[in-house]
DNA sequence: TAAATTTACTACGTTAGGCGGAGTAGTAAT
DNA sequence: ATTACTACTCCGCCTAACGTAGTAAATTTA
């Protein structure tokens, strides 16, 4: 498992990336993260929902209620154009971060 | 400049990596970081010294006073065997983190 | 049919790392 | 005498993440 101090700062990008193609809701997104990383990272519920709050506050996502006739009513999230822009910005920052950190990290298994 | 939320979690590793080969002190380490990253990242003084505190507390470094006859007396830091072990652990975690985050990031400039 | 589990959140309070701002202490250059 | 550079130190704030607990509705299991 990857420590959360390392993931801090990436949760927003991860969520936005999953919302790029379709709107979704908390539980589903959390499951997708666990699956895509093959269990290496699973976001905590509180972390997840506080990330939604932050993204909403910044206008990177909007929320709406689902209309399912069964189960508890879900809150869905949709990415906004601002959210997309922010996501692509952060992707570039990630490329930069990789080169910066690699300067200080020894890769034991060779290049 | 890379945001500090992204660098959070890496400051300790960066400092330890610079201490691998020889003991050093705050100002010098801060300068080395700025130089090695070509200005892309420069650690704040408060962040730097609180990182030292943390590393000392965890036994990853030890401190001693320099014996310079001029200028303000410097506090030097030396990495411990535990610090080395921790550093190499974190390097492996970094390799993992790279693959995990890359799952969610679109690289605009191709592979 | 009652109890347990799963889905889908919400609320509350704490911790840790990073940061801004200010201050201290010494030397060196103008 | 003032400014600048080196080398810290102190204080208090902010934010992301977390632990714990609780709510609510449906679905599964006993």
pLDDT tens string A89-108: 999 999 999 999 999 998 76
Query: Looking at strand C, which nucleotides approach a protein CB closer than 7 A?
Result: 7-13, 16-22, 25-28
The Cα–Cα gap between A84 and B4 comes to: 21
At a 7 A CB cut-off, the residues bordering strand D are A 4, 7-12, 43-47, 50-51, 54, 70-72; B 5, 25-28, 45-46, 49, 71-72, 74-75
Query: For residue A107, which of B36, B18, B17, B91 has the smallest C-alpha distance?
Result: B91
CB contact under 8 A, A107 and B91: yes
Give A67 CA → D13 C1' in Å. Answer: 42
pLDDT attached to residue A71: 58
The whole-model pTM stands at: 0.88
Q: Work out the mean pLDDT of chain A and round it to a whole number.
A: 89
* B12 to B26, B54, B67, B88: CA distances (angstroms): 13, 9, 26, 12
List CB contacts (< 8 A) between B109 and chain A: 95
Tokens of B48: 């730097």
Considering only the C-alpha atoms of chain B, give the largest distance between any 2 of them, rounded to a whole number of Å.
54
The domain locations on chain A are 4-98
Kindly report the nearest CA distance between residue A1 and chain B, in angstroms. Answer: 9
CB contact under 8 A, B95 and A103: no
b/e per residue A50-82 (b: at least 16 CB within 10 A): ebbeebeeeebbeeeeeeeeeeeebebbebbee
CATH of domain B4-98: 1.10.10.10
Confidence band for B68, pLDDT divided at 50, 70 and 90: low
Q: How many CB atoms lie within 10 A of CB A31?
A: 12
pLDDT at residue A69 above 70? Answer: no
Tell me the average pLDDT across B33-42.
92
* B18 to A18, B24, B60, B87: CA distances (angstroms): 37, 8, 13, 11
């Amino acid at each position: 498992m990857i420590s959360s101090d390392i993931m801090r700062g990436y949760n927003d990008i991860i969520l936005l990336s999953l919302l790029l193609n379709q709107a979704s809701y908390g539980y589903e997104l959390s499951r997708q993260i666990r699956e895509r990383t093959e269990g290496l990272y699973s976001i905590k519920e509180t972390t997840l929902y506080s990330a939604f709050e932050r993204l909403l506050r910044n206008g990177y996502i909007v929320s709406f209620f689902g209309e399912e006739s069964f189960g508890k009513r879900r809150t869905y999230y949709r990415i906004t154009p601002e959210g997309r822009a922010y996501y692509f910005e952060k992707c570039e920052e990630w490329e930069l971060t990789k080169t910066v950190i690699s300067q200080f990290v020894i890769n034991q298994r060779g290049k």
